[in-house]
């Protein structure tokens, strides 16, 4: 036993001396031994997400991208100028509101990258080319895009993801939401289904699909960073701004493209960015799908948007307004005044009321209220929950149109009328006799188009001649314009202004 103790002691001594020698050697070499501890298991995915069952799953956008990419198209819009007009359309003549928002780099919002073709030879026609995106929403060839992508275009070309190219026709436009519907002659196309944009949550993942800088079929990812944004970029009288804000990268050319959720549903139509440079700075804005759906249906069915109106001026209640008006609650929308022929006034809404809900949905800001009302047509009833002197009550309001009644507008879906932006009707025999006319066609409504853009013509103008030819009916009017190219001269009268008037524009 004593020998075993001796052997054990000798072994321990040898090991100790070896360790001492090794440490001494490291110290002489000025080396430091660093030991790292790995506390996490290796992972093949860096980011995870919760599915509908609250289960943790790897975050992967590839399946969603594959589902939606075929339904987003590239749009090229071309606008021709005659030689007299071309000098007026230079980059520095961008409308002031858009200059203030984006700077001088981009024309209109941010989507169409506009350029004026140089004119090396006398007589050559200059043109402007815009590049944007669109979303196929029907297998019948209907495409939703932004109005500013195709506004004032003489030619619209649509390129699908598989590189097939088509000419498109404008079905209708809505400057108040900056939306437009166009159509190509093709069927059985892939489309993106709409989702209820009210249910989209802040922080939810979304993908932006479009053609930034003409880079076709580009997909970027981000989250919904805010809802109900008003960025004061639409200057129409009844403009509706209730944007979804996202940090998915959006750049010039994304206009009219899709914002989708991870299930491949359409959350909104990408429309604008907030940027000091005109390119991506972290904030993009999309028109919510619920508004897009209603506008699209109206344009296809009626040719114009049927916009229900309350007839009130409003402000979002904040701390300062609540103090000024001695309100006890700091939320809702304050009714500042009521207009003539106001639907709200007729229903019993008073100045000073605070609207807190629309059809049971809580509203805290003016964009939220505008967005909910914009989904309804004239004649439809909405239930407004109001706070009046700390007492809550529900008032049913039958919405009016912008003329103060509940009738629905209609517009013939004829391409040449869409181009010039007019609705016309034949004169009755009685109307013609009162004006001492034997022929003529009355322009009953004006929409954004060539007449409004290039002339000072007013609604009610009666066209008696086009380029010296008598106009006896709507058919004459349409047939002549459909065959015309270049300059056109309208001759006619007003029923309330003496004299003959002439209006010239180009087609």
pLDDT score of 38 more than 80: no
Assigned token pair, 213: 């800088």
Query: Of the listed 152, 178, 409, 426, which one is catalytic?
Result: 178
Q: 3-state class of 506 per DSSP?
A: strand
pLDDT score of 502 more than 80: yes
284, 307 contact by CB (below 8 A): no
- pLDDT band, residue 44 (cuts 50/70/90): very low
**Across residues 491-506, what is the average pLDDT?**
92
79 tagged catalytic = no
Query: Of the listed 77, 148, 247, 376, which one is catalytic?
Result: 148
- pLDDT band, residue 170 (cuts 50/70/90): confident
pLDDT at 109: 43
148 tagged catalytic = yes
**Across residues 277-304, what is the average pLDDT?**
90
User: Poorest-confidence range of 119-133, 257-271, 301-315, 339-353?
Assistant: 119-133
pLDDT in tens, 210-252: 999 888 889 999 999 999 998 888 877 778 889 999 999 999 9
If you average pLDDT over every residue of the chain, what do you get?
Answer: 83
Strands 179-183 and 381-388: unpaired
Burial environment of residue 380 by CB neighbours within 10 A (0 to 12, 13 to 18, 19 or more): middle
Q: How far is it, in rounded angstroms, from Cα 366 to Cα 229? A: 10
Please state the three-class secondary structure of 380-422 as a single string: CEEEEEEEECCEEEEEEEECECCCCCCCCCCCCCCHHHHHHCE
pLDDT score of 23 more than 70: no
Q: How far is it, in rounded angstroms, from Cα 121 to Cα 203? A: 55
Q: How far is it, in rounded angstroms, from Cα 243 to Cα 226? A: 9
pLDDT at 79: 76
pLDDT in tens, 423-455: 899 988 888 888 899 889 999 888 767 898 789
Smallest CA-to-CA distance from 115 within 82, 79, 149 is with: 79
| Domains assigned to the chain | 46-303 (2.40.10.120), 312-398 (2.30.42.10), 415-506 (2.30.42.10)
Query: Of the listed 255, 275, 293, 342, which one is catalytic?
Result: 255
110, 255 contact by CB (below 8 A): yes
pLDDT score of 373 more than 90: yes
Render 192-204 in DSSP notation, one character per residue: --B--GGG--TT-
pLDDT at 232: 80
pLDDT score of 40 more than 70: no
């Amino acid at each position: 036993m004593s020998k075993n103790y001796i052997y054990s002691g000798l072994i321990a001594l040898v090991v100790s001396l070896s360790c001492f020698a090794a440490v001494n050697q490291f110290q002489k070499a000025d080396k430091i031994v660093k030991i790292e501890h790995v506390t996490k298991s290796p992972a093949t995915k860096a980011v995870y997400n919760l599915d509908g069952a609250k289960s943790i799953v790897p975050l992967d956008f590839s399946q969603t991208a594959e589902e939606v990419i075929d339904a987003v198209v590239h749009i090229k819009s071309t606008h021709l100028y005659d030689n007299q007009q071309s000098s007026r359309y230079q980059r520095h003549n961008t409308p002031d509101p858009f200059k203030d928002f984006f700077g001088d780099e981009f024309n209109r919002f941010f989507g169409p990258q506009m350029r004026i073709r140089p004119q090396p030879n006398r007589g050559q026609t200059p043109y402007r080319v815009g590049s944007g995106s669109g979303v196929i929403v029907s297998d019948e060839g209907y495409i939703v895009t932004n109005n500013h992508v195709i506004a004032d275009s003489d030619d619209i070309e649509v390129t699908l993801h598989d590189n097939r190219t088509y000419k498109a026709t404008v079905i209708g436009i809505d400057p108040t939401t900056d939306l437009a519907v166009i159509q190509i002659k093709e069927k059985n196309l892939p489309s993106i289904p709409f989702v209820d944009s009210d249910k989209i949550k802040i922080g939810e993942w979304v993908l932006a699909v479009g053609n930034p800088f003409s880079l076709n079929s580009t997909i970027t990812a981000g989250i919904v960073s805010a809802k109900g944004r008003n960025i004061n970029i639409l200057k129409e009288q009844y403009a509706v701004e209730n944007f979804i804000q996202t940090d998915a990268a959006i750049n010039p050319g994304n206009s009219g493209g899709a914002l989708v959720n991870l299930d491949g549903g359409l959350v909104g139509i990408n429309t604008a960015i907030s940027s000091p440079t005109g390119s991506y700075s972290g904030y993009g804005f999309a028109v919510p799908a619920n508004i897009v759906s209603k506008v699209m249906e109206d344009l296809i069915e009626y040719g114009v948007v049927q916009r229900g109106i309350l007839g009130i001026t409003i402000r979002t209640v904040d701390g300062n307004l609540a103090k000024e008006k001695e309100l006890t609650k700091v939320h809702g929308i304050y009714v500042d005044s009521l207009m003539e022929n106001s639907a709200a006034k007729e229903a019993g809404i008073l100045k000073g009321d605070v609207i807190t809900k629309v059809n049971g949905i809580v509203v805290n800001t003016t964009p939220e209220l505008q967005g909910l009302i914009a989904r309804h047509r004239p004649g439809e009833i909405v239930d407004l929950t109001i706070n009046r002197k700390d007492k809550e009550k529900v008032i049913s309001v039958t919405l009016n149109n912008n003329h103060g009644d509940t009738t629905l507008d209609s517009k013939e879906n004829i391409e040449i009328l869409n181009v010039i932006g007019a609705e016309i009707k034949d004169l009755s025999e009685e109307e013609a006799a009162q004006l001492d006319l034997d022929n003529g066609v009355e322009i009953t409504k004006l929409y954004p188009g060539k007449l409004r853009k290039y002339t000072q013509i007013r609604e009610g103008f009666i066209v008696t001649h086009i380029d010296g030819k008598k106009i006896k009916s709507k058919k004459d009017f349409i047939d002549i314009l459909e065959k015309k190219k270049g300059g056109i001269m309208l001759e006619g009268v007003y029923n309330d202004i003496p004299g003959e008037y002439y209006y010239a524009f180009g087609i």
